[in-house]
Structure 1
C-alpha cells in the first residue's frame, strides 16, 4: 500500500471530523468549503508552518519529529490507537520488514487454546485469518463451515450472510473489523496478502468500501458481544483478547459467559454439539 497516500487520507479524515468550534478557533464568516478544519487552521493549532503541514499531508515529508507528530495528534484530538497509527504512517517500516506470509501458531499457544474447555477460543493472525480454533469456537462462529477450514474473519463479517445474522450488532462488528485492518495496513504497508484482502473486500462489499474510506483505526480489545446463534439462540459473552506474538500481530480471543447465566447454559450446549458424534 502507498504509505504517503494513506497518511494523507488519514489526516484529511481527521481534519474533516473536527469543527473549528470544537477546536476552540474563532470563525470569521459562515461560508466554508470544507466540513472540518482547514490545513492552515490545523497548522496553527499544532504550531507548525502551513507549508510544512501541507508537505506532510501530501506525503512529501516522512521524517516528522516526535514533537511535531505529538502536536498534530493533540490538535486533531487523536486517541492512543490513532496516534500510534499516525506515527507508523509518518515513519513507514524499512523495506523487507514484512509480516510472514505463512503465519504459524506456537506450540505454547496451542496448549493454552486446548485448555479452554467449553469456552470458545481461537487464534487470529495479523490479517484476521483464523490460524487455530477449538471446537466450541467453530460451533459458535462458523458451524456452517467445515471444522478443518481456516477462514478469514473479515471475509466472514462482510461476505457471509450467516455471520451478518450471527452478530446482534453487526454494524459495530463491521466497524471494529475495518478499524483493525486499517491499523494493520499502517503497520505492515508492504504486506501483499493484506493488500489483496482489502482489495477483494472493497470490490465485493459496498459497506466495507464506505467504512474503509472513513479511515477508522482501532486495536482489538476486550468487549461484550451478543450473538444470535441459530442453535442456542441469543447469548451475550465477554470476549477477552490477548496479544500472543506481538511482532506477528497474532492474538488469542476467548469467549466466556457470566457464571450461572443463560449464556453459560448455551455455551455448554454448544460444547455438546461441537464434537463429532462417534
Structure 2
C-alpha cells in the first residue's frame, strides 16, 4: 500500500462528505464539479495555503505540524479515531517504526488466560484481525466449522475479515452483515495507518480486494473505527438468534485485542448462550477424567 495514495484518498473522502454550508460557506447556484468541499475551501478554513494543502493531499509533504493536522481535523469534523488515523498517514517516518513481525506471537500466560475462561466466549485478535487464540465457547460461537487448534498455527490462523467476506458460514452468522463487514474494513484501515508497508497487511488487503467486490467498495470509502464495545446480533446454526454485548480490551504491550461476549442476565440470549455451552463444552467431570487418563498413560 502506498501511503501518499492512502493520505490523499482519506482526505478526499472526508472533503466529499461535507457540504459548503456545513462548514459555514455560502453555496452559490453554479454547479460544483466535485462533491463536498473544494481543496481551496478546506485550505482557507484550516488557515493554510491552497498550494500547501494540495501538496499534503498528494503526499508530497511529510512534515505537517500538529497545528495544521489539528486544524484539518477540526474543519473535516474528524472523530478521535479519524484524527489519529490522519496523523499516522501524514507522519510516515513515525508509522514505519511500528512495522509488524512476520508472524504474531502470543505470550503463554496470555494464551492460558484465554483458555481458562469458561463461561464467556473470548477471542484474542491480532493487529490485522488474525485470531491468535480463542476459548472453547468463543470457537463454538464464532467459527465451529474451523479446527480449534488452527489459532496455534500461524499459517492457518483464521482472520476476521477473511471470515466475514469470504466464508459463507460466517456471512450467515450475522443478520447485520453489512455493518459487521464495515467494522472489519474500518479496523484494517486503522491498522493500515499504523503498519502501512507491512507485507502481511498488503497481502491480506490485496487478497480481499481481488476476491470480494464488496470489500473493494468498502475499502475505497476509507472507513476508520477502532474496536471498543457494542451489541452484536447473531443467528447461530445451533441455538438460533442471540444479541450479545461485546467488550474489546486493548493490550498495548502485545498489540492485540481481547474480546468477550456476554448476554443480558435472564434474557433469551443468555439461555441460548448457556445452551450452546451445554452442547459444545465438555463437562467438568469429563475434563477431570481426561486429565486422570492422560496422567496415567504410560506413554
Q: TM-score, normalised by structure 2?
A: 0.89
Residue 245 of structure 2 corresponds to residue 238 of structure 1: yes
| Helix, strand or coil at the partner of 2:149 | coil
Residue 267 of structure 2 corresponds to residue 261 of structure 1: yes
Deviation (angstroms), 1:90: 0.3
Residue deviations 1:14-57 (CA, integer Å, cap 9, x gap):
00111101111012333100011000000011010000000000
Q: Is the contact made by 1:4 and 1:59 (CA closer than 8 Å) also made in structure 2? A: yes
Structure 1 distance, partners of 2:243, 2:116, is: 22
Shifted more, 28-37 versus 119-128: the winner is 28-37
Unaligned 5+ segments in structure 2 are: 151-156, 287-299
- Counterpart in the other structure of 2:91: 91
Residue 147 of structure 2 corresponds to residue 146 of structure 1: yes
Greater relative contact order (Cα < 8 A, sep 6+): 1
- Counterpart in the other structure of 2:52: 52
Q: Is the contact made by 1:139 and 1:273 (CA closer than 8 Å) also made in structure 2? A: no
- Counterpart in the other structure of 2:129: 128
- Counterpart in the other structure of 2:153: none
Deviation (angstroms), 1:2: 1.1
Residue deviations 1:175-199 (CA, integer Å, cap 9, x gap):
1000000010111012101110000
- Counterpart in the other structure of 1:171: 178
Structure 2 distance, partners of 1:247, 1:13, is: 32
Unaligned 5+ segments in structure 1 are: none
- Counterpart in the other structure of 2:187: 180
- Counterpart in the other structure of 1:28: 28
- Counterpart in the other structure of 1:250: 256
Q: Which has the higher helix share?
A: 2
Deviation (angstroms), 1:248: 4.8
Deviation (angstroms), 1:111: 3.5
- Counterpart in the other structure of 1:116: 117
Structure 2 distance, partners of 1:271, 1:154, is: 25
Deviation (angstroms), 1:276: 6.1
Deviation (angstroms), 1:107: 2.9
Deviation (angstroms), 1:274: 2.3
- Counterpart in the other structure of 1:42: 42
| Helix, strand or coil at the partner of 1:203 | helix
Q: Is the contact made by 2:116 and 2:135 (CA closer than 8 Å) also made in structure 1? A: no
Equivalent residue pairs, number:
277
Q: Which has the larger radius of gyration?
A: 2
User: RMSD in angstroms over aligned alpha carbons?
Assistant: 1.5
- Counterpart in the other structure of 2:162: 155
Q: Which of 183, 202, 227 is 2:234 aligned to?
A: 227
- Counterpart in the other structure of 2:213: 206
Residue deviations 1:54-112 (CA, integer Å, cap 9, x gap):
00000000100000000000010000000000000000145564112211222332233
